[in-house]
Structure 1
């Protein structure tokens, strides 16, 4: 259980750090300070005799210009990013803000500006106090020119991206990309790398004679399951662990996180306290938080896209074009998910002591289409596009996806026929549905 950090946890922590705005600026600050003092290494070496001499005052002038300008630009970039976060919360959904915060272009720009400011302040302080000799001054001059070039290129790139930061279209694309990454990761490791879970586990899970249950006092969403840690725990105790809650599901004290077959405690004494200690060790493999995670939960991206579409279809916004764009995102995501059946066949089982339930395709369709079909039922253009999108998804070779798409297409049609007022719109929708059904048959 005390093994090095697993790939699953490292991936989760890496994504968590990307959502924190202070990580990259702090890293660049440390790197900037190290770069200043690295210039001192040239003094007193054989290389110093061959380097040209640079006037110290000219370097200090460049550093002074950088110090006075970078703080203003860094403050401006931070204010722009905060405005973009507020705009994303108002125009799309607050659940998308974490993706905008993790935007690489904005974080790199802010980090570069803050790092350049720290570099210039530390360098000019060292230079004024005659910390460097001629060789050190030359290297400091070269570093200053390099920092100027990096700042200019970063600023140009950042200006191009800041115009789209927080806009609905850009936010939709970021959410779709996050959902696609989660889907591809789940396809590459079906059932999180565990074995298929028998149907008898869920039926007999409440039977104490067959399984023991692991629960937690924490209330929140399962953000990650460290499968390597669960596997190591099960191997040490020669047992089988059956995962009951996947990332994205809401857990409460009455819901088991997993079922455990009869096991031998790690300690020699087989008593209740020893088993309780062992269960506590297993509990640490489950990361539980107040919010869902995009990286480990493919359904979360679908939910957030649905929220953006519902807000776009509200009377105060009245933007059916955004909802239609999101339907295109759903087509790409679900057609990609249709490869699930093929990947399940070829997927390697990494953790033979752990069984994991399959993610419900029906639940994914509920997350994506229920709210959109409800809110767009009275708009003929949205209703037609829903039917065409679901028809395209239903043509995949995955039976579960075909069944779910057909079910939601029927429900969306019934909603629209009740919500549409104009008879011509009803006739148009019926004609489209009949045409799609005839082509499918």
Structure 2
């Protein structure tokens, strides 16, 4: 349940209207909460605050905060457009979910709502007592301080938001989080995958799109209730078409799987129009590869970015390798659900195929890529070692077809010496 709640919260964080709505509600509540101070008997104790001082502050805030909110939205939209152009549109949800920018927009809109409502209430004599006027003035000072702090943090952040380096770092963080999560539960809490028996029923998704999340706890609950065994056939990131089953299900004893069981199992696979990073480490690798490929396009011609991304990918694969070594025996929470592990070969294909293809004609990219494969080939993990050698040989073949200068090809062959 907590995993599902976390997934929903992350999707809500990618919506720009959620935080401003919450802050607006808090602002309205704070305005009317100040009025309740008159019922506490603090009128004799608190100092008297003139109405004019509070009114002046509220007018300044009301006249400036709407303009600041508009400016914040314009700056964020420009940053989003820059990220889509310079990196890849697949990175946009991460940029939209930037905490500092969303907090700034929420504070500016919330401060405008607060000041407007408080000003109307003040000018209509709602705050008649000394305590309520003191509370309103204190709240206004606090709101003003929050605005100043938020603005300073936001100015520092907006200078980086949408820049290519910031986007790469953001995607790397999302990919690293997904890698750590998957290595802690390589089979999502299930048992190792196996081939379903001949009489197993294929379960198809209820939509066409990408699997965003697999709720193995829900699958386990249904399997226990109906005495079923389930073999997951579509991991997060898999594209589901009408003819692509998401799972195979069969009964432990003889008997057919009911339509109700099949429907409940299908509902455990959340399918959407686009991939998300949460349970899909391969997506983070693919997005980084897309950033490098765009940098290598003739219109951009930025091999330095491709080299930086290659280093980022090496860090992520080393993290995957080290987490795999340090991980204990995976905990089995869902003994009736079989889930395949991620294929290291698929991860290598997602990460490096595009860079090797588009950078084959640039010797510095080829050499850096081959050095990256040499580092990964030193892994004790057999799959990591074998796939590093496989991709090194492929990269050398591509370079041989693209590099025109003999000296460049010689440099590439020397860098690929470990794979011979």
TM bin (shorter chain): over 0.9
RMSD, aligned CA: 1.7
Shift of 1:8: 2.2
Select which of 169, 174, 181 maps to 2:177. 181
Please say which of residues 223-232 and 255-264 is displaced more in the overlay.
255-264
Q: Tell me what 1:251 maps to.
A: 240
Moved over 6 A (4+): none
- Give distance in 2, aligned partners of 1:177 and 1:69: 35
Equivalent runs, 1:42-81 vs 2, <5 Å: 42-81=37-76
Deviation per CA, 1:109-153: give whole Å up to 9, x if none: 101111111111111111111111210110111111111111111
Equivalent runs, 1:2-151 vs 2, <5 Å: 6-132=1-127, 133-151=129-147
1:331 aligns with 2:311: no
- Residues 395 and 271 of structure 1: is their aligned pair in 2 closer, same or farther, counting only changes over 3 Å? closer
Please say which of residues 332-341 and 399-408 is displaced more in the overlay.
332-341
Select which of 284, 293, 308 maps to 1:310. 293
Shift of 1:44: 2.4
Q: Tell me what 1:3 maps to.
A: none
Deviation per CA, 1:4-57: give whole Å up to 9, x if none: xx1221121011011111001101101111111111221121333211010011
Q: Is the 2:389–2:419 contact (alpha carbons within 8 Å) kept by the matching residues of 1?
A: no
- Residues 276 and 191 of structure 1: is their aligned pair in 2 closer, same or farther, counting only changes over 3 Å? same
Q: Tell me what 2:158 maps to.
A: 162
Equivalent runs, 1:362-401 vs 2, <5 Å: 362-401=345-384
Give unmatched runs, 5+ long, in structure 2.
Answer: none
Give unmatched runs, 5+ long, in structure 1.
Answer: 1-5
Q: Tell me what 1:230 maps to.
A: 219
Q: Is the 1:212–1:262 contact (alpha carbons within 8 Å) kept by the matching residues of 2?
A: no
- Residues 263 and 278 of structure 1: is their aligned pair in 2 closer, same or farther, counting only changes over 3 Å? farther
Deviation per CA, 1:306-331: give whole Å up to 9, x if none: 11111100111000011011001101
TM-score for both structures, normalised by structure 1? 0.92
TM-score for both structures, normalised by structure 2? 0.96
Q: Is the 2:183–2:324 contact (alpha carbons within 8 Å) kept by the matching residues of 1?
A: no
Shift of 1:62: 0.3
Please say which of residues 280-289 and 336-345 is displaced more in the overlay.
336-345
Equivalent runs, 1:242-281 vs 2, <5 Å: 242-262=231-251, 275-281=258-264
Shift of 1:285: 1.0
